[in-house]
Structure 1
């Protein structure tokens, strides 16, 4: 039995036990889809989507990018807002008092995405933004922390955010947590969220679904974007 198979079996056993506990205590409720969605793609920039970088994630080419392409197409044909989120820093000298890295550099190598190297923090060309779509630069894990994201969404009367990107254990998770705290219906698109470490996506999505967002399959999210875009009732 391979490591991946063993890990999947162990996680599924843990999820089954945790589901019984959660449901017995009233967790795993549904936040549901609203009437005005927006798509938030978190850190689907070259430093995370292309090989050879400290932040490179798994399942990008075969799963995440194709899935996000489907979501983008649905948003674009229906006029739903899209926000592409990336991360970069102006001052990557950790000894400089003017650094905008905060203390995060003490945990992870964020200095590699310096603002002077746009080829690293530019959004992946396969899901390149089009006119009218926002490109938002963040400095911390959450796309909401210290940014104009919540205000932009409210100004567009958005009540539901569909979140994709990387990583499940950090920037995607914190964006979903903060999104719910800001009063938005939070939807995690299952096939469009990645990470670097085996098991990280499965565990985080399970736990997120119990507490902070609805984890929904790509097909259901595309259907929703098309349905709500035509003025029909969303589930």
Structure 2
């Protein structure tokens, strides 16, 4: 599947307490966070695979200001009612709070890279493109949450910025099974590769064996 030489980076999207942890904002809003929690072990395994193969790791961290100056409702007068209601009901992932922290199970190391983002895409008004280019990265491996929102939006923007893209299916999750499956189908048909963590690890091993030979 990885028939070409690539220089990949792992992008872990928004695995923060506010979205996935018991006692976080989504939990307080009554949202079903169990689907998000179930993929954390796969994300942890994927991180280990990438560390073992010296693949750079980027985390995104969705951050909101206490003042509310960066809320979507400041710029968008037309929003789905469900999203607008969540925004107005409870501030999520406020800067310098436990809610905004990346979950303990997959905490970044000092050698990893953390991108602060204000919108769905990791590329919107952030440093990520510059950092990736400086490392010579040409392929982005995506995981995290929510599959059909921030993960898919970031993946599309990565593709449109000239990167090869891959989605690790067992290391991402959506609140909606329908939306999750739709994203996987869209990525397969139009953007790049979809594979599981074990498949990705196997492909990396095959590439290493080929180099040794």
Whether these two folds match at TM > 0.5 is yes
Q: Secondary structure at the match of 2:147?
A: coil
Question: Is 1:35 equivalent to 2:6 in the alignment?
Answer: yes
Deviation at 1:87, TM superposition (A): 0.4
Per-residue CA deviation, residues 191-226 of structure 1 (Å, 9 max, x unaligned), is 111111232211221122212232112212122344
Gap change, CA 1:61 and 1:116, over 3 Å in 2 = closer
Q: Secondary structure at the match of 1:154?
A: helix
Q: How far, CA to CA, are the matches of 1:191 and 1:215 in structure 2?
A: 10
Q: How far, CA to CA, are the matches of 1:157 and 1:131 in structure 2?
A: 20
Look up the match of 1:61. 37
Question: Is 1:175 equivalent to 2:151 in the alignment?
Answer: no
Contact 1:31 1:185 in 2 (8 A): no
2:59 to 84, 104, 128: 84
In the TM superposition, what are the counterparts of 1:194-213 in structure 2 within 5 Å?
Answer: 194-213=173-192
Deviation at 1:151, TM superposition (A): 1.1
Contact 1:87 1:139 in 2 (8 A): yes
Aligned residues: 196
Q: How far, CA to CA, are the matches of 2:34 and 2:3 in structure 1?
A: 29
Contact 2:92 2:100 in 1 (8 A): no
Gap change, CA 1:210 and 1:32, over 3 Å in 2 = farther
Look up the match of 1:101. 71
Normalising by the residue count of structure 2, what TM-score does the alignment of the two structures yield? 0.82
Q: Secondary structure at the match of 1:199?
A: helix
Larger Rg: 1
Q: How far, CA to CA, are the matches of 1:212 and 1:172 in structure 2?
A: 13
Q: How far, CA to CA, are the matches of 1:138 and 1:231 in structure 2?
A: 38
Contact 2:147 2:173 in 1 (8 A): yes
1:129 to 83, 97, 108: 108
Contact 1:47 1:56 in 2 (8 A): no
RMSD of aligned alpha carbons: 2.4
Gap change, CA 1:153 and 1:225, over 3 Å in 2 = farther
Per-residue CA deviation, residues 88-114 of structure 1 (Å, 9 max, x unaligned), is 112443xxxxx1224369544353221
Look up the match of 1:112. 92
The runs of at least 4 aligned residues of structure 1 exceeding 4 Å deviation read: 30-34
Per-residue CA deviation, residues 1-54 of structure 1 (Å, 9 max, x unaligned), is xxxxxxxxxxxxxxxxxxxxxxxxxxxxx9976421110000111112213532
Q: How far, CA to CA, are the matches of 1:211 and 1:32 in structure 2?
A: 18
Gap change, CA 1:148 and 1:189, over 3 Å in 2 = same
Q: How far, CA to CA, are the matches of 1:211 and 1:58 in structure 2?
A: 29
